[in-house]
């Protein structure tokens, strides 16, 4: 499977065109959207961005999206918030929103809720698509603090996904390989950043791009 991965679009309507171009150029099987599709709403911005995407889209909300976004996007994408799907032999589990922030954004979940929503849908060797990163991995803000989710880290340690896809922390984008798991933060799509990820059995290859590359 080849995925085009985007996160943190934050209402940038110009993203649709380059998402379609990149997905076609890379021959991606589908697009995975990791949240913050809007910038505090409204929901129809998500439809204007993701509705015209030509590939199948699997989407979760971010902490800056409205609470009813998952139901809304189910009309034109596959809603993955608290849900699973099987693609190309891979079990994919999704959860949007984020652990609590100092900004009191709309779609925040406490750590117990994150764990209790993720654990029943998790499987060993899965692909995990989340908005917030696991604590300590692609989660450092400019002050040097780690602000990821301890519950997502616990899920990673319990189930050892082959791939964890997250966004949320714009500054700490990148690819890391830790104990058999590949972690990818594609960077903010509002700035034209995205990732292309290929999964073949237990092997994962990932590359980061911007639209100017």
Q: In whole angstroms, give the CA distance from residue 56 to residue 68.
A: 21
Please state, in angstroms and rounded to a whole number, the distance separating the CA atoms of residues 213 and 199. 23
pTM: 0.98
Domain map of the chain by residue range?
2-210
pLDDT tens-digit map of 94-139: 999 999 999 999 999 999 999 999 999 999 999 999 999 999 999 9
State the pLDDT confidence band at 213, using cuts at 50, 70 and 90: low
- What is the Cβ-side half-sphere exposure of residue 72, based on CA atoms within 13 angstroms? 18
Provide the pLDDT for residue 212.
78
Domain 2-210 fold: Purple Acid Phosphatase; chain A, domain 2 (3.60.21)
Phi, psi (5° rounding) for residue 160? 45, 65
Residues 16-40: tens digit of each pLDDT: 999 999 999 999 999 999 999 999 9
Report the C-alpha gap between 126 and 160 in whole angstroms. 8
Burial of 39 (0-12, 13-18, 19+ CB in 10 A): middle
pLDDT above 70: residue 43: yes
Query: With contact defined as beta carbons under 8 Å apart, do 136 and 99 qualify?
Result: no
Mean pLDDT of 53-62: 98
Least confident span in 51-55, 57-61, 89-93, 209-213: 209-213
């Amino acid at each position: 499977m080849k995925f085009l991965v985007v996160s943190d679009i934050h209402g940038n309507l110009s993203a649709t065109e380059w998402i379609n171009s990149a997905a076609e150029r890379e021959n991606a099987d589908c697009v995975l959207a990791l949240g913050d599709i809007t910038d505090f709403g409204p929901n129809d911005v998500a439809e204007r961005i993701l509705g015209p995407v030509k590939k199948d889209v699997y989407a979760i909300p971010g902490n800056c999206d409205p609470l009813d976004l998952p139901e809304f996007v189910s009309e034109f994408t596959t809603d993955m918030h608290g849900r699973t799907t099987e693609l190309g032999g891979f079990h994919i589990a999704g959860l949007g929103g984020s652990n609590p922030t100092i900004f009191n954004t709309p779609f925040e979940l406490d750590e117990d809720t994150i764990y209790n929503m993720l654990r029943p849908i998790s499987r060993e060797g899965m692909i995990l698509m989340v908005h917030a990163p696991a604590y300590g991995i692609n989660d450092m803000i400019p002050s040097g603090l780690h602000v990821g989710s301890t519950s997502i880290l616990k899920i990673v340690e319990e189930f050892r996904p082959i791939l964890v896809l997250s966004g949320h922390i714009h500054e700490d984008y990148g690819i890391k390989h830790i104990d058999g798991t590949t972690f990818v933060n594609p960077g903010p799509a509002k700035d034209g950043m995205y990732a292309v990820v290929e999964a073949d059995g237990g092997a994962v290859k990932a590359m980061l791009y911007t639209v100017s590359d």
